[in-house]
């Protein structure tokens, strides 16, 4: 935000999209530093939206659920974990990076011109 703010201010508009995680919303254990950092994204988004809104700069965040990146698949995905995910999610399919990219692109585009100060959960209905 600090690096791009001057250019956005000069342009008279802009959009910042922060990436959080639903890990802190669902109370996921075993990684307190990660969940604490990701919960702070909501506060950062809200504060920046207030500070930058008068300059016509929108600030939103996207909180992905369990996204099937190669790292997730290699390190953490188990048959039991996948079954639990499918039980909890409303949408009974895996989510991929492309799913999140589309949400981020929406918030970066003019189509979301009236949206700021939002923390959008994109998790297939897990939360």
User: Which residue among 5, 34, 96, 120 is the active-site one?
Assistant: 34
5 is catalytic: no
Edge-to-edge order in the sheet of strand 57-64: 14-19, 57-64, 118-122
Contact yes or no for 123/89 (Cβ under 8 A): yes
Q: Tell me the H-state helices in the chain.
A: 5-11, 32-52, 70-75, 79-88, 97-108
Catalytic residues: 34
């Amino acid at each position: 935000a600090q690096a791009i703010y001057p250019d956005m201010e000069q342009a008279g508009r802009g959009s910042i999209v922060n990436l959080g995680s639903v890990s802190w919303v669902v109370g996921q254990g075993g990684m307190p530093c990660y969940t604490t950092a990701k919960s702070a994204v909501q506060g950062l988004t809200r504060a920046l939206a207030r500070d930058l809104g008068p300059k016509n700069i929108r600030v939103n965040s996207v909180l992905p659920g369990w996204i099937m990146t190669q790292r997730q698949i290699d390190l953490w995905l188990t048959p039991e974990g996948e079954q639990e995910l499918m039980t909890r999610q409303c949408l009974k399919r895996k989510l991929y990076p492309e799913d999140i990219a589309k949400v981020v692109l929406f918030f970066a585009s003019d189509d979301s011109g009236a949206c700021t100060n939002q923390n959008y959960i994109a998790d297939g209905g897990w939360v």
